[in-house]
Amino acid sequence: MSLSEHIADFVVGYTHAEEPSESQTELMHTLKLSLLDWCAVAIAGSSEPVSCIVREQALADAGVEHCSVFGASQKLPMKVAALVNGTLSHALDYDDTHFAHVGHTSVVVFPAVLSIAQAKGSSGRELLDAAFIGSEVACHVGAWLGRSHYQAGFHQTATAGTFGATAAACRLLKLNPLQVRHALGLAATRASGLTSQFGTMSKPYHAGMAASNGVEVALLASRGFTANLDGMECGRGFAETHHAEQENAEPGSALLGGPYVFNAVQHKFHACCHGLHASVEALQYLKDTQGLQASDISSIAVKTNPRWLKVCNVAEPVTALESKFSYKHLCALVFSDYDTSALDTYSEECCRDESLHRIRSLTEVGADDTLPDTASQVFVECANGSVYEAHYDLADILPIRRREQKVLTKACVLLNDQKTAEIWSIINSMDTAIAPDLERLFR
């Protein structure tokens, strides 16, 4: 069976177990935390310049008032709302990452799912199942396209994301397997997005594009649109033309029945590039357990996967954006008691803080190709001669309660306690909500 056949079977055939296993329960809990995390970063990012531009254009075009968007009271058509919410939720680059997907799934899948669920009046169970299906498909397709796809210059968030959003949208629209194949086929010729756009507004827009593409192709397929049924994997199809790895001999065979991979999703607890997070966690651990102060330190060595040295190793950051991509700066922030989870920590003013410059200058960053790209090894030497060492790997999944606590804390920092509690309550009661009040998430 081909990948698109497996996806079609998964979209149509997946059912949430009446008595889910412990791992299934944890998976659904993780998904809900991702939805909470997504709402928090979307609300926090909804006034960013790119969010305003895309929303204002959408409001100027208007259309049937079916779906809520963050930052406006006027509702918009499904495809349009998905574009707006996808873009603004990725504007801060503070949303979750799935390393096997090689990108961000929530900023693509949730906007598509919420748009259709709100317009069609889906139940909470239908919404959660579609979000799970879309997220899982995005992860599988991202891994199937592989590192070669990313290295060639394609952004999985936009490309693999389109297929994930398509799967989720098809589920909510209750398409049959053949319609799902047509939707995936059309997605194969609609998906796009290049990493050479990183650092510009196009990067968050990629999430909107993918969410919107998924809604668009599913709606067209529901009306009888036909495309190449094997558009993903055929000769000159999406994979072949887009430098895919396609190493997996039978891709997608694990989709229906598992094992599922979405629970490896990584929520961001620091408002900087995800490549820095393992190092920050390792340093924070040493600081907390050894009680280290900035004044104690005589040198820091950070070891990381070589991939990241091209991504987030700005030696002397000056702008807010540059500071989010600097190992040396983050080392200094950790030991100077800055809150690395707060958005306003990343500013020009902070880059000029001379107390940080001393720690920056004491820090060496080096490549270690034995480390996976989710891990870091750090060494801190103190003036008194003590040397401390720590290793952190984001791939070691946190216990679910710890994860919940950290996501809730992050949401409270980005929003406030009351808003966080309100959103978490809506999400937590979704399993049994026949008509969840989705509009309240956006207010």
Q: Tell me if 3 sits within 8 A of 144, measured CB to CB.
A: yes
| Cβ neighbours of residue 100 closer than 8 Å, sequence gap 6 or more | 139, 142, 143, 261, 264
Helices (H) and strands (E) in the chain, counts: 19, 6
Site string for a second copy, 153-192 (x = CB under 8 A): xx---x--------------------------xx-xxxxx
Cα Rg of the chain (Å, integer):
22
Q: Does 2 bind a second copy (CB under 8 A)?
A: no
Query: Applying CB under 8 A, which of residues 209, 210, 351, 378 lies at the interface with a second copy?
Result: 209
Instruction: Give, as ranges, the residues between 109 and 128 that touch a second copy (CB under 8 A).
Output: none
Pinpoint the alpha helices (H) of 336-399.
348-352, 354-362
Instruction: Print burial letters for 262-281: b (CB count within 10 Å at least 16), e (below 16).
Output: bbbbbbbbbbbbbbbbbbbb
Per the CB < 8 A criterion, the answer to whether 118 and 66 are in contact is yes
CA dihedral sign of residues 101, 215, 112, 125: negative
The DSSP letter of residue 316 is: S
Give the Cα separation of 165 and 216 in Å (integer).
Answer: 10
64: left (phi over 0), alpha (psi -120 to 50) or beta: beta
Q: Decide: is 235 part of the binding site for a second copy (CB under 8 A).
A: yes
Identify the DSSP state of 430: G
DSSP per residue, 263-287: GG-B--SSSS-GGGHHHHHHHHHHH
Give the Cα separation of 407 and 370 in Å (integer).
30
Preceding omega of 259 cis (within 30 degrees of 0): yes
47 binds a second copy (CB under 8 A): no
Interface characters, 380-399, with a second copy (x: CB under 8 A): --------------------
CA 309, chain centre distance (Å): 21
Q: Does 50 bind a second copy (CB under 8 A)?
A: yes
In the bound state with a second copy, the residue whose beta carbon lies nearer, of 71 and 231, is: 231
Q: Which two tokens stand for residue 415?
A: 């929003």
Least separation in angstroms between CB 95 and a second copy = 19
Stretch that binds a second copy, among 99-107, 196-204, 251-259, 390-398 (CB under 8 A): 196-204
Stretch 76-95 residues interacting with a second copy (CB under 8 A): 77-80
- Single residue of 236, 259, 384, 399 touching a second copy by CB under 8 A: 236
The piece of 2-10, 215-223, 389-397, 421-429 that touches a second copy (CB under 8 A) is: 215-223
Binding mask 130-149 for a second copy (x = CB under 8 A): --------------------
Asked if 320 touches a second copy (CB under 8 A), the answer is: no
The residue among 104 and 267 lying less far from a second copy, judged by its C-beta, is 104
State the minimum distance, in angstroms, from the CB of residue 61 to a second copy: 4
Q: Report, in Å, the least distance between residue 200 CB and a second copy.
A: 5
Q: Is 204 in the site for a second copy (CB under 8 A)?
A: no
Q: Tell me if 291 contacts a second copy by CB under 8 A.
A: no
The H or E element spanning position 210 is: helix 202-222
> What is the nearest approach in angstroms of a second copy to the Cβ of residue 156?
13
Instruction: Rule CB under 8 A: say whether 11 interacts with a second copy.
Output: no
Residue closer to a second copy by CB (options 31, 158) is: 158
Applying CB under 8 A, which residues contact a second copy?
49-50, 53-54, 56-57, 60-64, 77-80, 152-154, 158, 185-186, 188-197, 199-202, 205-206, 209, 219-220, 223-228, 231, 234-238, 240-243
